[in-house]
Structure formats: C-alpha cells, structure tokens
Structure 1
Amino acid sequence: MTTAFLLPLKRFLLLALCVLPWLLPTARAQTPAADGLHFTAIALHDAADTPHAMADDAINSDRLVAFFEWLRGNGFTAVSLSDIEVARRGGRPLPPRAVLLTFDDGYASLYSRVFPLALAYRVPVVAALAGSWLEGDMGGQVRHGDQKVPRNRFISWTQAREMQSSGLIEFASQGYDIHHNVRGNPQGSLMPAATTRIYADDTGYEAETAQRARLRADLMLSRQQMVRELGQAPRAIAWPFGRYSSMAVEVARDVGFSWALTLDAGPSTARMPMTVARHSPSADPSLDTLAAMVSNNISFPSAQRWVCLDPALLWTGDAATTDERLGRAIERYRTLGVTGVVINAATIGTDGGLAQAWFPNRELPLQADVLSRMVWQLQTRAGVEVQVRLPSTRALATLGSAERVLRLFEDLGAYVPLSGLFVDDALVMAPALLPLHVGQAWNARAARDTLDPNRLTANDALAMQSFRAVQRARPWLQLAINSGDASAATDANSLPPEPNPLADITWARADLPASPVVSHARSYAAMAPDAVGRMRRSGVWLSGPGTIDANVLTASALALQRAGRSVLGWCPDDPVADLPNAKRAAPGISSATFPVKF
C-alpha cells in the first residue's frame, strides 16, 4: 500500500488505543452448538470519518476500529469462507466464537478504511460487489439504486486486485444489475429486482420462467465480469437488500455459486452454505449493538402494537382515491404508534368461504390487484411489519383440494411482499417432542424448518404446508398464531398461552365487551415469567362485534402494562372513519410512548 494509506492506518491504531478504556461490553455469546460448524456473520457497508460524509448505511470509522478491537479483546476469531468450507468438509473445526466479517456494496471506504484495518488486525473480510456500479471511468457516473452517483464512490478494479492479492479480502457477487428496484405492481411500487416479478402495462406480470431467466443472465454476467477483472469467479452471492427466494437460490447454485449470504438475523452453520444468515445493523451502529449481534443476544422490542386492516375499507374502485385513503391510514398508524398490521388477502362470501382475492392468483376471482401496493406502502412509508391473513381451512372449503389451496398460497408469496402470515383458523400445535423455544426469531424458524407436518392434525398440517408455500418465495417469512378465545380462561395457568415454538407471536383472543381484558391481565401477571422472552412472544388480541372504543383500548393497554406485558393487537379497526380515535387512544397505547423498560 502507498504512504497515503499508511497514514490512515496509523490514525486507526491510535484511535484503537484511545477507545480501549471505555470498551466495557462483554460477550455473552448464545452459541447454538459447540460442534465446530457454527459461526456468526455480520453485514456492514460504508465507513466514514465525519457526520456530513455518513450515508444511511455507514458506520463511523472510530466505531469500526472499536469493534475490531472489541472482537479481539473478547475472544472472537474472524474466519474466512475457506475456514468455514474446511470445517464443512470435516477438516479443522471453527473456533467457539467464530465471526465472518462482510462488507457489501464495494464503497471506496472498503479500500481506504476497511482494508487497512484488515491488514492491521490480520483478519479476513468478504466484500460483495454489484457489477454495474464498478463499470466505466472513475470520473463518470453510475446508477446506484434509483439515482446517479459518482463512479468514484466505489472502489476501482485496480484496488480490488490489490486487496485480493493480500489474501485477506475475498470478493463476492451482488449480481451485475439486480441491486436496484423494479416495478412490482400496476400502481408502480418499486421492489427488489431479484425477488419481484416485473409488471408492465402492456404485458402484465413477468412469468416465473422469465424471472428465472433474467436472474440467471444477471448472475452469469456478474461472474464473467469478476473472472475478467479478478482472474476468478466468486463462490459467494450476497443477495441485494437481503431479498432472495428458493428459486433464486436454485439459480445461484446452477450458475456456480456455492455460498449465498442473506440478511436473515441469527447464527449460521457451515452445513447450510446457501442460506448464511447475517446480522445487519442500522446506520452507524453503537458498539453495544454490534456486540449484541455477534453474540446473538438481540433484544426483543419493548412494545408491539398490531392492528387489522380490511382492504375493502380502502379500495374504492379508483386508483387515486384508494391511494389517498391508504395515505390517510398510514398517517393514522403513525399517530397510534402501530408496529404491525394484519391485512386480509381475500373477501369472505355469504357462505363463509373465500369469495374474491386482493392479489393475482390461479384459483380465486380477482376483486382488485391492490394487496401488493398496500403491503409495500405500509412497510416502506409507515415502517411497520405487515402480516397477511388468508385462512387455509376456508380456502379448502372453497377450492375443494389441498393442491389448489397450496397454489393459492404460492401465488400469494409470488406477488405480495409480505413479512409474515397470520393464522387464526388452525392452532398449528407442535408435537410433544419438539422442544419449547422462547428465544430469538431464528429459534422459531429452526423449529418450523424441522417440523414434520405429518405429525399434525389435518387442519394444522394444511396451515403449515400453506405457510411453506409462501415461504418458498419469502424465506424470511414470520408466523403469527392466534391460539383462540381467551375468554374462557379461569385461572392463571390458562392465560396467556405458552409461546408456540413455531410462532414468532402467539396471540390469545379476548372478546369485547363481554370479556374485558383487564380481568385477564391478572392472569398474565401471575404467570411465572421466564420473563422477557415469553412476555414478548405472546400477546392479547382484542376482538369485538364493532370497532373498539378508544377508552376501552387504552384501559386494556394500561392493564397489560401494569401486568408487565407489552404485546397488544385489536380488530376490527377502521382507518377511514378513524375508529377507534387515534389521537385519543395514542397516549395510552402508542409503542413510541410505552413506559415499561426491561
């Protein structure tokens, strides 16, 4: 390296010495298994020295130095993909606190900030590159997402070759031109290119075969570019935005990738090289945040507030007025401090079956293609999780066969960017031999992945198979289970339900006004806490024949708070008529003002 880059290196080392006195966090690693195959990966992006140079995905250079020093001081070992591959093949096992350090997007700071640290600490790094961002003259511009930025914001191929020759930096692909958004529905919502079926006014939605061919061509172009510039093809693909699907994994494997990096949180194992989980901290994460991530010790949200939404309340038959109503609903959810929305995917007919769907599909008539738009706007503008309700038992009664039900759910996953599935027509009870996990989201995900549906009742098996049909297109899919009526609870042992080991959230329904939730709060308080894990993996879902009064909703939330509980949802809710009244209810229920800390 040149003298110009040795100076920043010296500065980094001096900073490391300065921060040592306050590096107080200690590691409490929650390692799933001490088998020499597990590791934790973290995905960082840009690094910058000053606030005005900080992009949304950047980390302050001082904090990056502190993180490298913290890893060394707390017994963590940075490992390479080669180390993990050796362990996977039965060779040298990974150390107990193995960490895979990755940096996405190929920013210029990879060479000027990250590379000097890798040299100083002698740690390996996997750096992922988006091919189209590295094309052209360094004095020109490239398309970065949905805008033009200077080409010199990213590394040059000359710098890449220097870093690769050090033996410490391995380059992965982020595709050639899939690190951007494409039109995903008739309303023009822009969604990740790798997982979205492109919509065009003249031809409609892209066919699955065309989507597969488009992704294959892009990944092959990326590999060819990296062979030309670096002399070898990448073995790893880092999915842009962390979005991928079973089909995308198949394509990646077919074109030659042997590793795939996601942004799913949690520990990873060398046994599953095509679904490597990576913690992804938000902009300029603190040392405490980084330490918690590499230790797999992520805090639960201090409060969750969920509300249901019927698309029929927003859809008017006119795109402009429907969008206007959706915008008003989003602003109302912000006022309420809502963290999640459960939205219906289909209408219910007079016979109790599914009548029409709000998304394109092969099995039901289409009421209007608006579900994708509503889900995407809620996620990106309101900043909430969105789970979709599509009862599998009603679908079976309507469609007559499990095969048709699964096709319906496959289409839901293909066309709607949902974050979870809300199940209230099956209990999805796990077999007795399945251990109870009340830990992190990846515990529930692992339990679902290992579950044999043949051990479940017919309704529960269909619900789980339907979930997996959606999951093929949305592998990060969450599961919420409404376990039934809490009104019959007569003692502390029956309410709330134990968190279902398969579910991210387990709900107990409390019917109003006949069964005020205030009385159930005492049962919640009497439950032996294991504490935060169970409290924040189960909650009360308020139901009523009409919209819930704001005073009743506030009283219920306060009663749960006094009992030490923080997960509350309600239905029905009318965002157009503003019932319950948002301004009146917000002070008592908003997650933003929740007073209980753990």
Structure 2
Amino acid sequence: MNMDRPHTLARGIAPVFILIVSAALLLLLGLRPAAANELLVISYHDIRDDVARKGDPDLYAVGTQNFAAHLDWLAGHGYRPVSLGDVIAAADGTRPLPEKAVLLTFDDGLRSVYTHAFPLLRAYGYPALVAVVTDWIDMPPERRIDYGPRMFSRDDFLTWEQLREMQASGLVEIASHSHDLHHGVNSNPQGNSTPAAVTRIHDPASGRYESEREYLARVRGDLATSVSLIERELGRAPRAMVWPYAAYNSQVNRIADTLGMTVTFDLEGRNQPIVAGMNGDGLHGLARLLLFDNPGVDDLAYELRHDQTLEGMRALQIDLDYVYDTDPAQSARNLDRLIERVKRIGPSHVYLQAFADPDGNGSADALYFPNRHLPMRADLFNRVAWQLRTRAGVEVFAWLPVLGYELPDPALRESLAIASSNPAETFRLDPFKPQTRKIVSEIYEDLAASAIFSGLLFHDDALLRDDELTGRAPADPAARTRALIDFTHALRDAAGKWRPKLLTARNLFAATVLQPESEAWFAQRLDAFHAAYDYTAVMAMPWMEGSTRPEAWLDRLTDEVMRHPLGAERTVFELQTVDWRNGQAIPADRLKSQIRHLQARGVRHLAWYPDNFIDDVPALDDAREAMSARSFPYMEP
C-alpha cells in the first residue's frame, strides 16, 4: 500500500459516500450550537483549480472554488477564525476562544497553499497552520515523491522563501509534519507497510523488531531534525506537530513536548473544548475534520451539523483462528477471502480476535502478536487488522480476554488460577493478585505496541461468581462488578501507552439484564457498564440461553435495555448466527427479520457472531442486507 497519502479511516471523518442533503433536511438533524469554548479544526491538503467535482484521482484535493465557498459559508454562519496562538492562549487561561472558533490546517506543505490558499486566506482574514515535511522542501530537482495519483517533484512543494513570506504576513504559522516520517515502514514478517511514526520496524533478515528504545530514538532524531530546520530557515521553532496519517502515541507526543511542540493534531473527531488549564497534555491529539472528495458547501454543512451520536454500529465478530493456517500461503488465501467479504458487506466495525483458542474453551492458549508471556501462534493480528482498516475500510476493535490466559508455566498458571467449583467454567486468572495484573497489563501493552486498531473488546471471560475467591473478592456483588471494571480500565490504560483514544466495548451476559439479581453470579451490570465503557456488547443470543421463543426473548431483552438512559446510545445487540446446541446456522431470513424488528424497536448498534467467512455463512447477500453500514447497501457495480 502507498503510505505517502493520509488515510481516511479515523473516527469522525466524512463517510466515503458523502450524503447530499437539502437545507430543509439539515434543519431536522438535531443540530446543537457550538459551545463558546469549543474548537473546530478543519484539515486541508491540496487546493487546485482543476479538481474534478467528484472522483478526482487525488481524493484529498479541494477545488479552489469550493475552498473559497467554504470560507464564505463559515464566515456567513458565525464561525470565528482563530490562530494556533489563540488556541494556546485559551488553554493557558490568557483569553477564551470565541463562540464557534475554527482553525484551518494544511498538511504536507504543498505549493498550492501559497499559490491558491494563501491569497484567499488574506482576502478573508483567516489564519491557518501549515504543516510541512521538511525533507520535501527544496529537495533536489531530480528527486520524486510518490504522492498517490502521480509522482511529485520539488515544484509541487513549498519553498523556504514562500514559507517565510506567509509567516511574515502574520496569518500563517508553520508546524512540523515530521522530517521524514511521512511514509510506511515494514511492520511484520509478511511485509505490510504501516506509518513510520508508530511502527516498530521489522527486519526480515534478522526476524526481529526494533526495540522500544530504538524506535523512540528514531522518532526523536526525526523530529529534532525537523525542528532544527524550521528554526534555522524561519527564525522560529514550531509549536505544533501534525502527525502523518494521524498516527501517534503518548510516547512520541512526549518527545514532541520536549522539543517545544506542545500542541499535536490527529484526524479523530470533529470538535473539542479548549479551556484554561489544558496547556499540558490537553493540547495533544486535537481532533480535526479531514475534507476529501472535493466537498461542496452542502457537504461541509452536513459534516458540521449532523449529530454523530446518532450513527449506528454494524459489527462482525471475526475468529482469527480461521485465518491462521500452518501453511502461510493458505493463511494468505484465507485473509483475502476475509477482506473481500468484509469489503462487500460493508460493516462499520470488525471485532477481531487477537488470541488463539484452538480448543474453543474460551481462554487464550496463545496470542497472534509478539508478547512477553504467552506463545505467539503466528504474527498475524498486525497484518489482518491493518488490511481490514485499509482495504476493507472498517474500524477494528481488538478482541482479547481479560482473565482467561493459560500461561505456559504450569506452576505459575496454577498459583494464579481462580479455583472454580464448575469444571466447565472458563479458565481464569485471579485479578486480585498483583502478578496477574502485571502479566495481563503487559499483554495489552504488547498488543498495542505491535498493531494499529481503534478499540478494545473485552471478552466474556471477565466474570466472578459469588462462590469464587471467597475472602479475597468483595462479598458485595456491586463491589465485584466495580473491581472488574477497574481492572479493564487498567488494561485500557496499558494499551493506551501506544494507542491513544482507544474506544472500549465489553461483553455482557444477557441474564444480568433480564435478571438483575444475577449480578451476584457474574459481577456484571448494565448501568455500570454504560458508565464505564463506550459500548456494552450484550450477548443477545436466545438459543444460547435455551429460549424456546427467541423473538419474544429478544423483545423482553430490548424492553429492559431501553429502560436505561443510555440503552440505545451505548448498547450493541450481538446476535448469534449459529445454534451451538446442534451446530446449525440460524436461517438468514430469521436473522434479518430479527434485525429489522430490533431496529424498529430503537436498537441502534448491531453485531453478530460468528461470521464464517470461510464457508460464507451467513451468505454474502444476506449479510450485506443485514449488517451493512452503508446508506445504499447493495452490490457495487
């Protein structure tokens, strides 16, 4: 994959099929006025006269006419342009932002910022932040950069003289976009390329990855070079770092901090509050709205006005065990089959198994990523997650146990195990033992260091029976529920060292919704999960629960979920596609009927498990009809 272009897979950016809606319809979209301290950041790249109305080979180019129209629309609708200095002043308490504050940014340092955007910025009095890749400025005449639709030369990029002129105007501030991190590097044994700023480079000759120290030293050296060049040529060091591909982590943000770049940007989200006291870590990872496919004013208006909280999730839960094969060629064929199916179905999310469970007992025997504690069955999660993200266009949640790890050392495994009275119970480690907490936290950290993903799905092994760990676990069911939530938060934070802004989802047994007293049996409760996680994936699986009237059972479950204030907003109804009692697939027409009925009842988020991409069950056409997140979920021409 060509990594020299920004990807469009961050949460909160415009959908691939931008909806064209009338002004009347926009008024019905539940608009909420921007808060006085809220900042909107808009991300542009190339501004050209000859951009196709739609479908230009350069997806990130915006036509000059459309760009001028954007400025006119923003000015006419009360948006107040601010500079990076204004944002910093609001964060340190010097002066607040105006209502409907907007900051414009331009990535990559393209020549058109000077020739096309800058004249319009001056005409409208709009400040802007221009992020440059210093390695691309004044490069040798013979050098070429693969920029996607064509090879770019030095004439396509800004010169230092042009940057000096724009900076001198007082309207433009220059930020770093790295010196030479705007490309991909080898990220796994299969040769996938992922963003250089967040990837531990894999050396195929030695079979090893960069160490943490080597990786951080490489990033530090790059940023230091960029800062030094900008300060030397412009007389002013950059105060902001705009990460290529919006790929960063807390560790590289700390490096940026030490080099004076205390503000950093990504592409995840649309707005954020800027208030006094945020001049520390609060100005890292500021959200930006990425504009692409040459949006007109109606497209921009839709993106700024629609209520993102009303968007529904459609998720497929995928077993990586079925991608894995001892024959690498067969694994590659299985992966291609998976990617093609997901792309054709068009869900919004995939919950991707990151652990190996070949015996199907619910606990991890091995993992699909390099780690410190369990065998690595194959270095596979990185590759599959990235291809799902880039080739199939979905957000990936890493699906991983909380307690269910069968450690290879028998003595250690035994010393940390929960002694269950039920021999059929999933093997779990005792979360109240410090060694368990250390081991599992390091597993989550290793996962995040090795792969790029958007969220975590905590497996259904996170439970504590009322007769387990007597004397160690709290006797009060609510306290046990809280203890497991706190443990999952510690795991999220461990992963967050390398993957910022991770969303979280956690499996919930339906019995705890239908029979609240069963919190004593599971240490799970719906309202506590709503408060703790972005999503609660309730296992809406009537056949697994032995129901003889599945549709009536789902109705009762829906009634109970919808009684909760965040029931529609945060609950994912995860259906079963197989009756595990007899191994038979649930008929597709019945699944589709259930989904339509749940939607009519107000259910917003839907998922199912398993999605058998090997045997095409449920069948592709049925799966697309049931689980596509597209507004037009039919076969592509």
Q: Using structure 2 for the length normalisation, give the TM-score.
A: 0.77
Aligned-partner Cα distance in 2 for 1:165–1:385: 42
Aligned-partner Cα distance in 2 for 1:180–1:145: 12
Report what 1:220 is aligned to.
Answer: 224
Report what 2:470 is aligned to.
Answer: none
Residue 489 of structure 1 deviates from its aligned partner by 2.9
Letter of the 1:233 partner, please give it: A
Report what 1:542 is aligned to.
Answer: 575
Any idea what SS the aligned residue of 1:212 has? Answer: helix
Bigger shift: residues 228-237 or 80-89 = 80-89
The reply to whether residue 457 of structure 1 matches residue 482 of structure 2 is yes
Letter of the 1:401 partner, please give it: T
Letter of the 2:503 partner, please give it: Q
Residue 354 of structure 1 deviates from its aligned partner by 2.4
Residue 262 of structure 1 deviates from its aligned partner by 1.9
Aligned-partner Cα distance in 2 for 1:43–1:517: 48
Report what 1:577 is aligned to.
Answer: 615
> In the TM superposition, what are the counterparts of 1:305-344 in structure 2 within 5 Å?
305-344=314-353
- The correspondence for 1:98, drawn from 97, 101, 112, is 101
Report what 1:280 is aligned to.
Answer: 290
Cα pair distance change 1:289/1:500, threshold 3 Å: farther
Letter of the 2:121 partner, please give it: A
Structure 2 gap ranges (5+): 1-22, 406-415, 418-427, 430-434, 464-478, 520-524
- The correspondence for 2:70, drawn from 67, 71, 74, is 67
Q: Deviations over 1:249-304 (max 9, x none)?
A: 11111222122122221314251222322222333234344345556843643x43
Cα pair distance change 1:379/1:89, threshold 3 Å: closer
Q: Is this contact kept in 2: 1:267–1:296, CA < 8 A?
A: no
- The correspondence for 1:418, drawn from 431, 448, 453, is 453
- The correspondence for 2:374, drawn from 364, 372, 385, is 364
Bigger shift: residues 120-129 or 326-335 = 326-335
Cα pair distance change 1:23/1:72, threshold 3 Å: farther
Report what 2:19 is aligned to.
Answer: none
Report what 2:593 is aligned to.
Answer: 555
Cα pair distance change 1:274/1:583, threshold 3 Å: closer
Q: Deviations over 1:474-499 (max 9, x none)?
A: 103111122221696389xx9x9568
Any idea what SS the aligned residue of 1:47 has? Answer: strand
- The correspondence for 1:122, drawn from 114, 121, 125, is 125
Q: Deviations over 1:215-271 (max 9, x none)?
A: 000001111221232222111100111111011111111222122122221314251
Q: Is this contact kept in 2: 1:427–1:483, CA < 8 A?
A: no
Bigger shift: residues 504-513 or 383-392 = 504-513
Aligned-partner Cα distance in 2 for 1:144–1:317: 37
Cα pair distance change 1:592/1:305, threshold 3 Å: same
Report what 2:198 is aligned to.
Answer: 195
Report what 2:467 is aligned to.
Answer: none
Percent of paired sites with the same residue: 33
Aligned-partner Cα distance in 1 for 2:377–2:102: 49
Residue 23 of structure 1 deviates from its aligned partner by 12
Report what 2:503 is aligned to.
Answer: 478
Aligned-partner Cα distance in 1 for 2:255–2:389: 28
Aligned-partner Cα distance in 1 for 2:313–2:550: 17
Q: Is this contact kept in 1: 2:398–2:456, CA < 8 A?
A: yes
Bigger shift: residues 245-254 or 66-75 = 66-75
Aligned-partner Cα distance in 1 for 2:563–2:177: 41
Q: Is this contact kept in 2: 1:337–1:590, CA < 8 A?
A: yes
The reply to whether residue 511 of structure 1 matches residue 541 of structure 2 is yes
The reply to whether residue 185 of structure 1 matches residue 188 of structure 2 is yes
Aligned-partner Cα distance in 2 for 1:45–1:202: 37
Report what 1:379 is aligned to.
Answer: 389
Letter of the 1:96 partner, please give it: E
Q: Is this contact kept in 2: 1:132–1:142, CA < 8 A?
A: no
Cα pair distance change 1:387/1:361, threshold 3 Å: same
Cα pair distance change 1:92/1:332, threshold 3 Å: closer
- The correspondence for 2:162, drawn from 146, 156, 159, is 159
Aligned-partner Cα distance in 1 for 2:316–2:47: 38
Residue 305 of structure 1 deviates from its aligned partner by 2.3
Residue 585 of structure 1 deviates from its aligned partner by 4.1
Q: Is this contact kept in 2: 1:308–1:343, CA < 8 A?
A: yes
Residue 24 of structure 1 deviates from its aligned partner by 11
Aligned-partner Cα distance in 2 for 1:480–1:171: 39
- The correspondence for 1:406, drawn from 423, 441, 465, is 441
Q: Is this contact kept in 2: 1:269–1:276, CA < 8 A?
A: no
Letter of the 1:104 partner, please give it: D
Q: Is this contact kept in 2: 1:486–1:510, CA < 8 A?
A: no
Letter of the 2:166 partner, please give it: M
Any idea what SS the aligned residue of 1:267 has? Answer: strand
Aligned-partner Cα distance in 2 for 1:589–1:363: 36
Q: Is this contact kept in 2: 1:344–1:388, CA < 8 A?
A: yes
Aligned length in residues: 543
Bigger shift: residues 520-529 or 184-193 = 520-529
Aligned-partner Cα distance in 1 for 2:493–2:273: 21
The reply to whether residue 489 of structure 1 matches residue 514 of structure 2 is yes
Aligned-partner Cα distance in 2 for 1:140–1:257: 29
Q: Using structure 1 for the length normalisation, give the TM-score.
A: 0.82
Q: Is this contact kept in 1: 2:26–2:306, CA < 8 A?
A: no
Aligned-partner Cα distance in 2 for 1:523–1:594: 31
Q: Is this contact kept in 1: 2:540–2:557, CA < 8 A?
A: no
Q: Deviations over 1:188-226 (max 9, x none)?
A: 111010001111112311111000000000001111221
Q: Deviations over 1:522-559 (max 9, x none)?
A: 45776898999853532311134245442332222222
Q: Is this contact kept in 1: 2:51–2:62, CA < 8 A?
A: no
Q: Deviations over 1:434-493 (max 9, x none)?
A: xxxxxxxxxxxxxxxxxxxx99732221111111111221103111122221696389xx
Cα pair distance change 1:486/1:65, threshold 3 Å: farther
Letter of the 1:420 partner, please give it: G
Bigger shift: residues 204-213 or 272-281 = 272-281
Aligned-partner Cα distance in 1 for 2:480–2:173: 44
Report what 1:44 is aligned to.
Answer: 44
Aligned-partner Cα distance in 2 for 1:482–1:457: 15
The reply to whether residue 269 of structure 1 matches residue 302 of structure 2 is no
Letter of the 2:597 partner, please give it: A
Letter of the 2:318 partner, please give it: L
Aligned-partner Cα distance in 1 for 2:537–2:89: 44
Q: Which has the higher contact order (CA 8 A, sep 6+)?
A: 2
Any idea what SS the aligned residue of 2:365 has? Answer: strand
Aligned-partner Cα distance in 2 for 1:455–1:256: 44
Cα pair distance change 1:70/1:147, threshold 3 Å: closer
Q: Deviations over 1:299-320 (max 9, x none)?
A: 643x432122212212111222
Q: Is this contact kept in 1: 2:41–2:102, CA < 8 A?
A: yes
Letter of the 2:49 partner, please give it: D
Letter of the 1:551 partner, please give it: D
Any idea what SS the aligned residue of 2:308 has? Answer: coil
Q: Deviations over 1:539-589 (max 9, x none)?
A: 311134245442332222222233243422111232112222223443344
Aligned-partner Cα distance in 2 for 1:181–1:358: 22
> In the TM superposition, what are the counterparts of 1:288-303 in structure 2 within 5 Å?
288-291=298-301, 293=303, 297-298=307-308, 300-301=310-311, 303=312
Letter of the 1:287 partner, please give it: V
Q: Is this contact kept in 2: 1:56–1:283, CA < 8 A?
A: yes
Q: Is this contact kept in 1: 2:26–2:305, CA < 8 A?
A: no
Any idea what SS the aligned residue of 1:511 has? Answer: coil
Q: Is this contact kept in 2: 1:31–1:267, CA < 8 A?
A: no
Q: Alpha carbon RMSD of aligned pairs, Å? A: 3.3
Residue 104 of structure 1 deviates from its aligned partner by 1.0
Cα pair distance change 1:252/1:224, threshold 3 Å: same
Letter of the 1:474 partner, please give it: R
Report what 1:109 is aligned to.
Answer: 112
The reply to whether residue 77 of structure 1 matches residue 68 of structure 2 is no
Aligned-partner Cα distance in 1 for 2:588–2:512: 21
Residue 347 of structure 1 deviates from its aligned partner by 2.3
